[in-house]
Amino acid sequence: MQKRWMLAACGFILAALTAAAQSAPAAAPTPTAPWIGREPQMEGHLRTAEIVSLEDIGTGVTNPKRAHLKPSDPFESLVWKPLPPGRLSGYWESYKSEVAAYELDKLFEMNMVPPAAERTIEGKTGAAIMWVRGMESVKQKGGKVPTDPQWARPLRKMMTFDNFIGNPDRNAGNILLGPPGELLLIDHSRAFTNDLKLPWKIERVDAELWRRLQAITRDDLARVVGPWTEDGAIDAMLERRTRMTAAVDKLLKKKNRQLVIVE
């Protein structure tokens, strides 16, 4: 089922990008993610707020829980994922990958991955992730990725990000939709492995994110995600970037630059 959804989603996403290329550029939405500019405060709340109660979320094979917090400001609850690094249900899983995805999102200035921090609750260490209210997943909205032009840029960013971190699990339940053009990405516990495959076919990339991705160095990655990844993960990211660059260069030989690297 998951593989079939990924194939279908790829079709919907490519349709969105095609629609954007054929239409006038849509104005970028004003970011409303509540943590923007308040990251240290949000991270501190994740690490230190009192846990009032824990409850099963009821979704996901890794059995995440929702923890309600005191005080309830700046946010009332978090997702709790105590996943020690290892194989589960045939996939590599690690709570550390959740923190790595957030830290890399900050480096890229994407503002698409909610704050995450390491925390120990009831003797277990895992990822505490901000629970973002007011958004619904693609699954909750019927399973179809939006194809309106204003969604094209965040979808391009999502695909580039997933390819770089090697995320094989971008399904309908972990793409959150807000106002038109605002998209958040959750659930990265299966990313940052040594697998060199690119999860998404490359058709277009976002120019701003592409420049930042090309400029990133091994030292940057060691500093930002090194503490949260296993041996070989950084090498794998750099190799995936090489493969992504080769794919973009191949497209540039066939198409005008503005159709491939989209401003």
Give phi and psi for 189, each to the nearest 5. Answer: -65, -15
Q: Which residues pair with 261 in a beta bridge?
A: 205
Which tens digits make up the pLDDT trace of 159-210? 999 999 999 999 999 999 998 889 999 999 999 999 999 999 999 999 999 9
| Distance separating the N- and C-terminal Cα atoms of the chain | 35
Q: Please, which pLDDT band fits residue 57 given cuts at 50, 70 and 90?
A: confident
How far is 133 from 150, CA to CA, in rounded Å?
22
Which tens digits make up the pLDDT trace of 73-128? 999 999 999 999 998 878 899 999 999 999 999 999 999 999 999 999 999 999 99
**Residue with the two structure tokens 């946010």:** 75
How far is 115 from 132, CA to CA, in rounded Å?
10
The pLDDT value recorded for residue 6 is 53
Residue 96 class from Cβ within 10 Å (0-12 exposed, 13-18 middle, 19+ buried)? buried
Examine the pLDDT at 148 and tell me if it is beyond 90. no
- In eight-state DSSP terms, residue 174 is G
Q: State the CB neighbour count (10 A cutoff) for residue 91.
A: 14
Give the DSSP H or E segment for 57.
Answer: none
Q: Please state, in angstroms and as integers, the Cα–Cα distance from residue 187 to each residue in 8, 120, 129, 222, following that order.
A: 19, 19, 10, 22
CB contact set of 109 (below 8 Å; sequence gap of 6+): 212
In this predicted structure, which of 25-39, 56-70, 168-182, 235-249 has the lowest mean pLDDT?
25-39
The reported pTM is 0.90
Residue numbers of the domain that contains 115: 2-262
Total number of domains constituting the chain: 1
Q: Which residues pair with 77 in a beta bridge?
A: 68
How far is 112 from 254, CA to CA, in rounded Å?
31
How high is the mean pLDDT of the chain?
Answer: 89
Question: Nearest to residue 13, comparing CAs of 196, 208, 178, 160?
Answer: 160
Q: Are 251 and 202 in contact (CB under 8 A)?
A: yes
Question: Residue 17, Cα to own-chain centre: how many angstroms?
Answer: 18
Q: Are 144 and 12 in contact (CB under 8 A)?
A: yes
How far is 231 from 122, CA to CA, in rounded Å?
28
